Chain A
Amino acid sequence: MSFCFKSRFYNREIWKAALVWRHKNMLCIETVGLTHRYSSSENTLNGIGLQVPEGGIYGFLGPNGAGKTTTLKLILGLLKKQQGDIRVFGKPIDKDRLATLRNIGSLIESPSIYGHLTATENLRVLQKVYQCPSGRIQEVLDLVDLARTGSKKAAQFSLGMKQRLSIAIALLHDPSLLILDEPTNGLDPNGILEIRELLQKLTQNRGITILISSHLLPEIEKLVTHIGIINRGCLLFQGTLADLIKMQDRASVIDFRTSDNDRAYQIISDSGVRPTRGEEGSVSVPIIDEAAVARLNRTLIQNNIDVYRISAFRKDLEMIFFDVIGEKTI
């Protein structure tokens, strides 16, 4: 049995905020204590409590092998649930599976498209199952900009085109929830931008809830409203993007490098600010306003301490992400 120490350690306030958010917002997906293991050795998932609010874009982040795909497969019923509860649209997934799946569009890992068929034929295969109007095929092809592929077989498509066709397939039956597992994998920056714009358009125009997984924060930070960070099967952070930015502020410091760092530390402590020791003995204080920085500087000078450098050290979101998952920034 393994435990998620970090999730307890990492910011209790965020979890409180998540609880408040849970009650304020209708949840589209909710998992409670979701645990899964492929072999008898180690749990792939440890009590995952995912909370995806309705109408939001939830970024599910984690390095490769963190448990993202396993979680998504469990939500979609592709893996047999071993422990925990999964509720989609407020209902247990295993109670009314078919009705729930009727409202979900998904793309799990690599695109699921039939290479020997054209884009239209690929969509026709799914249109028969969903029994949606034939006109939807052209609509979604227009939406993903594949309407002019004609008789070209899907096997001849570029990876970006295949990803867009997969999204068209996921959207064909006009679902209210999209589950996308690393949809930008292998795409060039332009392709990533295209997918991002398409997804933004979908939430703005149609109010679709999107659960999107990625192993790279910069890839989805401009897109998501909510974030969940998973590593080694443990959900380490869950909250809004604003919550993550708050964490970023808390992790940022102003660094004073002086002629006598020990005395500077004492003087800053006496002034009511809680300093820490920075690199090479410098004195770091939490981010404070500019007037307070000037005040501290003046105090140090008045005490005959030369101030060589005052620098702000602000962690970007990616560094926060690596902090959360407990791995060194590359």
Chain B
Amino acid sequence: MTATFIHSFQSEWLKKKRSLASWLVVGGAFFIPSILLAIRIANFGKLPEMYAVDDFWAALWKQSWEPMATFLMPIGIILATELIAQIEYKNNGWKQLHTTPQTFTTIFFAKLLVIVSMFVGLMILFNIGILLVAVIPAALFASVPYPAAPLPYELFLTRNLRFFLDCLPILGLQYLLSLQFKNFLVPVGVGFFLWMLCLGFLSWEHSYIFPYAYSSLDHFATSGDLPARKYNLQIIAIGYFLLFIVVGYIMYLRKEDKG
């Protein structure tokens, strides 16, 4: 059973090679760091002062994550999840996949694991991008020193983990939708609508009920732009994720036509 799942995962992993979803992950991960880097290089005269401060990493973190948490990450997950499902729709792949000797459970979770792995990959690449934003100007310009403050590994890891969990409900619901609708406009449209709805209600005290809002809520609460919530957003996020995955799994199994 485990061996079958690993082989299934390997097979699914191969399918995303050179796919739009893969390029989206790479492009999405380096988009913000590239812009920040370009701005820093263009204004390299101000960098020595910026690099000397104690909260250099915290400032860079906030600067990088603000657009990522509110905008790029939710949109990236909505699009990448759909693109993974579209690999099958576009290439008439479902009927071939469903006639291979794998259980539907294996197929469902192998695909899910690929999407989760790509999400992890996005976060790793984004963090590498943040580090490069810090390091490259120092390497390019003699007047710019390397950051004096030590890299706060623990802070980075903890916040990365929190953002990862915050975004899982988006991934879960988008996966459910992408398996049900062949037309990519449906999952993408629903995803965008829910994301915008959540942004609109962000400052509402009960905004924690919206599954697409957690990364934004988390970021703004951490940076002090929104009051801290009394509820643990990550636990609610995990709950939503599990709910969406279970419902998505049942709906996938019950699908009449699997070809």
Given contacts A79-B259, A104-B99, contact A129 B7 (CB under 8 A): yes
The chain A residues found within 8 Å of chain B, CB to CB, are 73, 76-80, 98-99, 101-102, 104, 106, 108-117, 121, 124-126, 128-131, 169
Alpha-carbon distance A104/B11, docked complex (angstroms): 19
Residue pairs across A and B with CB atoms within 8 Å: the count is 86
In chain B, what residue has the closest Cβ to A128?
Answer: B11
Alpha-carbon distance A218/B99, docked complex (angstroms): 29
Stretch of B28-36, B46-54, B89-97, B165-173 at the chain-chain interface: B89-97
Q: Which chain A positions have C-beta within 8 A of B96? A: 106, 108, 112, 126, 169
Stretch of B15-23, B60-68, B120-128, B243-251 at the chain-chain interface: B15-23
In chain A, what residue has the closest Cβ to B257?
Answer: A79
Say yes or no for B152: interface residue by CB 8 A criterion.
no
Given contacts A98-B101, A125-B15, contact A78 B10 (CB under 8 A): no
Say yes or no for B8: interface residue by CB 8 A criterion.
yes
In chain B, what residue has the closest Cβ to A75?
Answer: B99
Measured between C-beta atoms, what is the minimum distance from A150 to chain B in Å? 15
- Asked if A108 and B90 sit within 8 Å, CB to CB, the answer is no
- Asked if A129 and B8 sit within 8 Å, CB to CB, the answer is yes
- Asked if B259 and A129 sit within 8 Å, CB to CB, the answer is no
Measured between C-beta atoms, what is the minimum distance from B86 to chain A in Å? 11
Measured between C-beta atoms, what is the minimum distance from A61 to chain B in Å? 21
Alpha-carbon distance A130/B102, docked complex (angstroms): 9
Say yes or no for B209: interface residue by CB 8 A criterion.
no
Q: Which of B72-122 contact A (CB under 8 A)?
A: 87, 90-93, 95-103
- Asked if A78 and B14 sit within 8 Å, CB to CB, the answer is no
Question: What interface size band does chain B fall in?
Answer: 20 to 34
Cross-chain contact of B259 among A73, A111, A130, A131 (Cβ < 8 A): A73
Q: Which chain B positions have C-beta within 8 A of A108? A: 95-96, 99, 259
Cross-chain contact of A115 among B17, B91, B97, B99 (Cβ < 8 A): B91
A selection of 13 A-B contacts at a CB cut-off of 8 Å is A73-B95, A73-B257, A78-B99, A106-B99, A112-B96, A115-B90, A115-B91, A116-B18, A117-B17, A117-B18, A126-B96, A129-B7, A169-B96
- Asked if A130 and B258 sit within 8 Å, CB to CB, the answer is no
- Asked if B99 and A126 sit within 8 Å, CB to CB, the answer is no
- Asked if B11 and A129 sit within 8 Å, CB to CB, the answer is yes
Say yes or no for B256: interface residue by CB 8 A criterion.
yes
6 nearest CB pairs, A to B:
A112-B96, A78-B259, A128-B11, A102-B101, A98-B101, A101-B101
- For A99, A114, A130, the residue with the greatest tally of chain B CB atoms inside 10 Å of its CB is A114
Measured between C-beta atoms, what is the minimum distance from A173 to chain B in Å? 9
Alpha-carbon distance A129/B7, docked complex (angstroms): 6
- Asked if A78 and B258 sit within 8 Å, CB to CB, the answer is yes
- Asked if B91 and A112 sit within 8 Å, CB to CB, the answer is yes
Q: Which chain B positions have C-beta within 8 A of A169? A: 96
- Asked if B99 and A129 sit within 8 Å, CB to CB, the answer is no
- Asked if A112 and B17 sit within 8 Å, CB to CB, the answer is no
Alpha-carbon distance A124/B14, docked complex (angstroms): 8
- Asked if A114 and B15 sit within 8 Å, CB to CB, the answer is yes
Q: Which chain A positions have C-beta within 8 A of B98? A: 76-78
- Asked if B95 and A117 sit within 8 Å, CB to CB, the answer is no
- Asked if B7 and A112 sit within 8 Å, CB to CB, the answer is no
In chain B, what residue has the closest Cβ to A114?
Answer: B91
Cross-chain contact of B93 among A78, A99, A112, A131 (Cβ < 8 A): A112
- Asked if A98 and B99 sit within 8 Å, CB to CB, the answer is no
Alpha-carbon distance A115/B96, docked complex (angstroms): 14
Alpha-carbon distance A286/B11, docked complex (angstroms): 61
Cross-chain contact of B103 among A78, A98, A111, A113 (Cβ < 8 A): A98
Alpha-carbon distance A116/B99, docked complex (angstroms): 21
Cross-chain contact of B258 among A79, A99, A115 (Cβ < 8 A): A79
Alpha-carbon distance A129/B9, docked complex (angstroms): 9
Cross-chain contact of B10 among A101, A116, A117, A128 (Cβ < 8 A): A128
- Asked if B95 and A78 sit within 8 Å, CB to CB, the answer is yes
In chain B, what residue has the closest Cβ to A166?
Answer: B96
- Asked if A109 and B102 sit within 8 Å, CB to CB, the answer is no
